[in-house]
């Protein structure tokens, strides 16, 4: 939450599973509720719902040398009480900066941006996903936000559909219900 800060270097997060009680979570790295995450040389692979998720106002996520691979949707896709996700990197309301990154093999989207705070991406590749870039922020200036980012070889490279982004409220509600 607010005031929490994590600096991670040479981190691997892989094959996370959802909780047994309701099939929620399984995310690789989640940053929310005003927390700050700084990462360098990260590999996030084989996770569910989201590989890297940054949500809520005041949250800051700054990552470089990132590889996110094979993010799956939750198994309960059709009857989920929660958002099934499936995005390699997803942001909603948070400030997110990506430098030198690859996102590939996501079941929903490589990069999913709901209305965000500040966003920038440089020197990246988004490839082999169902949707490369799912953009839901009409105010985002793509020319200013993206520098040397290639979006290619996805089933659909760019999409404007409002696919739900997992949120901090989903997480807090699930934690409350579990107690």
pLDDT in tens, 156-173: 999 887 666 665 444 444
3-state SS assignment for residue 158? strand
Distance in angstroms (rounded) separating the CA atoms of residues 130 and 16: 21
pLDDT in tens, 12-49: 999 887 766 665 667 889 998 889 999 999 999 999 88
**Residue whose structure tokens are 């040397």:** 148
**Residue whose structure tokens are 């988004």:** 126
- Structure confidence at residue 152 as a pLDDT band (50, 70, 90): very high
**SS3 letters across 126-144:** EECCCEEEEECCCCCCHHH
- Structure confidence at residue 59 as a pLDDT band (50, 70, 90): very high
Order of strands across the sheet with 146-152? 5-14, 36-45, 60-69, 95-104, 119-127, 146-152
Question: Could you tell me the pTM of the whole model?
Answer: 0.85
**Residue whose structure tokens are 């209305």:** 115
Chain centroid to CA 158:
16
């Amino acid at each position: 939450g607010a005031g929490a800060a994590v600096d991670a270097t040479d981190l691997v997060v892989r094959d996370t599973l959802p909780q047994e009680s309701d099939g929620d979570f399984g995310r690789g790295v989640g940053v929310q509720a005003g927390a700050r995450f700084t990462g360098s040389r990260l590999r996030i692979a084989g996770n569910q719902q989201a590989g890297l998720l940054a949500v809520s106002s005041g949250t800051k996520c700054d990552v470089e040398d990132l590889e996110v691979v094979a993010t799956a949707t939750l198994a309960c896709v059709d009857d989920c009480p929660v958002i099934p996700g499936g995005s390699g990197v997803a942001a909603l309301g948070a400030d997110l900066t990506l430098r030198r990154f690859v996102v590939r093999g996501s079941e929903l989207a490589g990069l999913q941006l709901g209305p965000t705070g500040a966003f920038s991406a440089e020197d990246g590749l988004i490839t082999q996903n169902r949707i490369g870039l799912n953009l839901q922020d009409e105010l985002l200036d793509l020319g200013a936000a993206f520098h040397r980012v290639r979006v290619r070889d996805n089933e659909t490279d760019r999409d404007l559909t409002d696919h739900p982004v997992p949120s901090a409220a989903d997480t807090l509600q699930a934690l409350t219900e579990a107690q």
